[in-house]
Structure 1
Amino acid sequence: MNLLTQLRSLFEPALTGLAPDRAKVPDLLGAIKPAANADNGDYQANCAMALGKQLGQKPPEVAKALVAALPPNDLLEQPTVAGPGFINLRLKPEFLAKALQEIATDPKLGVSPAAKSKTFVIDLSGPNVAKPLHVGHLRSTIIGDALVRILRFLGHTVIGDNHLGDWGTQFGILLYGYKNHRDDAAFAADPVRELARLYVTIKKQFKKDDDEEDGPTDDPLKKACQEETAKLHAGDPENVALWKTFMPACLEMLRPIYERLDVKIDYALGESFYNPMLPGVVEEMLAKGIAFESKGAIVIPNAKGVVPRTEEEQQKEEPPAIVRKRDGAFTYTTTDLATIKYRAETWKPDAMLYVVGSPQALHFKTVYAQAKRWGYASTEFEHIQFGSMLNKERKKYSTSGGGAPELEELLNDAVSHGRKRYEESVTDRREHGHEVPDLGADEVARIAETIGVGAVKYADLCQSRTTDYVFDLDKMTATTGNTATYMQYAYARTRGILREGGVDEVLFGSSPPAILLGEPQERALAMQLLRFPEAVEAAAADYAPHLITAYLWDTAKAFSIFYDKCHVLKAETPELKASRLLLVDLVSRVIKQALDLLGIRVVERM
Structure 2
Amino acid sequence: MSATKFRKAIASQLSRITSCPESQLLGLLGTPKTALNQQFNIPIPRLKSQRDSVQLSNELAHKFQPDSLIQEASAKGPFLHFSVRPTEYIRQTLLQVYNEQSNYGCHTADKSHIVVLDYSSPNIAKPFHAGHLRSTILGNFVKRIHQAMGYPVIGINYLGDWGKQYGLLAVGFEKYGDKALLEKDPIHHLYDVYVKINSDITEDVDRQANEYFRRMEEGDLTVLEQWKRFRDLSISSYKSIYKRLGIEFERYSGESETEPYIQPLYDLLQSKNLINKTADGAWTVDLSSYDLGSPVVRRADGTSLYLTRDLANLILRQSPKKSMYIVGTEQSLYMQQMFKIAELASLATNMHHVSFGRVQGMSTRKGTVVFLQDILDTAQEQMLKNLKENVTKYNELLTLGIQKGGQRLVGQEAANLVADQLGTSAVIVQDLFANRVKNYSFSYDRMTAARGYTGVYLQYTHARMCAIERKTNTQITTDCDFSLLKEKEAFELALAVSQFPDVVKSSYQSMEPCVVVQYLFKLAHTMGQANSTLRIKDVDPSLAEARMLLLWAARTTLANGLKLIGISPLERI
TM-score normalised by structure 2 residue count: 0.88
Cα distance in 1 for partners of 2:12, 2:223 equals 65
Q: Is the Cα–Cα contact under 8 Å of residues 535 and 551 in structure 1 kept in the other structure?
A: yes
Equivalent residue for 2:315, pick from 341, 344, 349 = 341
Cα distance in 1 for partners of 2:522, 2:122 equals 35
Partner of 2:70: 76
Partner of 1:271: 255
The 3 A distance-change label for structure 1 pair 391 and 75 is same
Partner of 2:554: 587
> Letter of the aligned partner of 1:43 in structure 2?
F
Partner of 1:107: 101
> Letter of the aligned partner of 2:356 in structure 1?
F
2:332 corresponds to 1:361: yes
Q: Is the Cα–Cα contact under 8 Å of residues 130 and 170 in structure 1 kept in the other structure?
A: yes
Q: Is the Cα–Cα contact under 8 Å of residues 90 and 491 in structure 2 kept in the other structure?
A: no
2:559 corresponds to 1:562: no
Equivalent residue for 2:243, pick from 246, 255, 259 = 259
Q: Is the Cα–Cα contact under 8 Å of residues 536 and 544 in structure 2 kept in the other structure?
A: yes
Equivalent residue for 2:169, pick from 174, 180, 184 = 174
1:366-386 CA deviation, whole Å, 9 max, x = no partner? 111221222246x31110101
2:44 corresponds to 1:44: no
Gaps in structure 1 of 5+ consecutive residues: 208-218, 307-316
Q: Is the Cα–Cα contact under 8 Å of residues 73 and 83 in structure 2 kept in the other structure?
A: yes
> Letter of the aligned partner of 1:252 in structure 2?
S
2:391 corresponds to 1:412: no
1:386-445 CA deviation, whole Å, 9 max, x = no partner? 11111258xxx9xxx973222222211111111122223455x79xxx988845222212
1:86-136 CA deviation, whole Å, 9 max, x = no partner? 122222113213211232122245435325443211111111123452222
Cα distance in 1 for partners of 2:109, 2:62 equals 30
Equivalent residue for 1:325, pick from 296, 299, 310 = 299
Partner of 1:86: 79
Equivalent residue for 2:352, pick from 359, 368, 382 = 382
2:413 corresponds to 1:445: no
Cα distance in 2 for partners of 1:387, 1:443 equals 35
2:436 corresponds to 1:465: yes
The 3 A distance-change label for structure 1 pair 450 and 290 is same
Cα distance, 1:232 vs structure 2: 2.4
Cα distance in 1 for partners of 2:333, 2:109 equals 33
The 3 A distance-change label for structure 1 pair 504 and 565 is closer
RMSD in angstroms over aligned alpha carbons?
Answer: 3.1
Q: Is the Cα–Cα contact under 8 Å of residues 301 and 366 in structure 1 kept in the other structure?
A: no
Cα distance, 1:19 vs structure 2: 8.1
Partner of 1:287: 271
Cα distance, 1:163 vs structure 2: 0.6
Partner of 1:148: 143
Question: What are the residue-to-residue correspondences of 1:407-556 with 2, within 5 Å?
Answer: 407-426=372-391, 438-439=399-400, 440-505=411-476, 508=477, 511=479, 514=482, 516-556=484-524
Secondary structure at 1:107's aligned position in 2? helix
1:12-61 CA deviation, whole Å, 9 max, x = no partner? 784698589x8x975x7544324678365223212x1233xx43332112
Larger displacement relative to structure 2 (513-522 or 282-291): 513-522
Cα distance in 2 for partners of 1:305, 1:425 equals 65
Cα distance in 1 for partners of 2:336, 2:382 equals 41
Cα distance in 1 for partners of 2:525, 2:185 equals 48
Q: Is the Cα–Cα contact under 8 Å of residues 494 and 584 in structure 1 kept in the other structure?
A: yes
The 3 A distance-change label for structure 1 pair 392 and 329 is closer
Partner of 1:239: 223
The 3 A distance-change label for structure 1 pair 369 and 579 is same
2:570 corresponds to 1:603: yes
Gaps in structure 2 of 5+ consecutive residues: 401-410
Equivalent residue for 1:200, pick from 192, 195, 199 = 195
Secondary structure at 1:79's aligned position in 2? strand
Partner of 1:127: 122
1:443-465 CA deviation, whole Å, 9 max, x = no partner? 21221111111211121122221
Secondary structure at 2:91's aligned position in 1? helix
TM-score normalised by structure 1 residue count: 0.84
The 3 A distance-change label for structure 1 pair 301 and 424 is farther
Cα distance, 1:255 vs structure 2: 1.8
Cα distance, 1:7 vs structure 2: 1.9
The 3 A distance-change label for structure 1 pair 376 and 516 is farther
Partner of 2:405: none
Q: Is the Cα–Cα contact under 8 Å of residues 503 and 519 in structure 2 kept in the other structure?
A: yes
Partner of 1:301: 286
Cα distance, 1:182 vs structure 2: 4.0
Q: Is the Cα–Cα contact under 8 Å of residues 398 and 414 in structure 2 kept in the other structure?
A: no
Q: Is the Cα–Cα contact under 8 Å of residues 4 and 534 in structure 1 kept in the other structure?
A: no
Cα distance in 2 for partners of 1:581, 1:366 equals 55
Secondary structure at 1:602's aligned position in 2? coil
Partner of 1:309: none
The 3 A distance-change label for structure 1 pair 496 and 257 is same
Cα distance in 2 for partners of 1:569, 1:280 equals 71
Number of residue-to-residue matches in the alignment:
559
Cα distance in 2 for partners of 1:181, 1:4 equals 64
1:551-573 CA deviation, whole Å, 9 max, x = no partner? 110110101111122322233x3
Q: Is the Cα–Cα contact under 8 Å of residues 36 and 491 in structure 2 kept in the other structure?
A: no
Secondary structure at 2:353's aligned position in 1? strand
1:162-181 CA deviation, whole Å, 9 max, x = no partner? 11111123202212323444
Cα distance in 2 for partners of 1:13, 1:537 equals 25
Identity across matched positions, percent: 27
Q: Is the Cα–Cα contact under 8 Å of residues 109 and 590 in structure 1 kept in the other structure?
A: no
Q: Is the Cα–Cα contact under 8 Å of residues 122 and 159 in structure 2 kept in the other structure?
A: yes
Cα distance in 2 for partners of 1:81, 1:337 equals 56
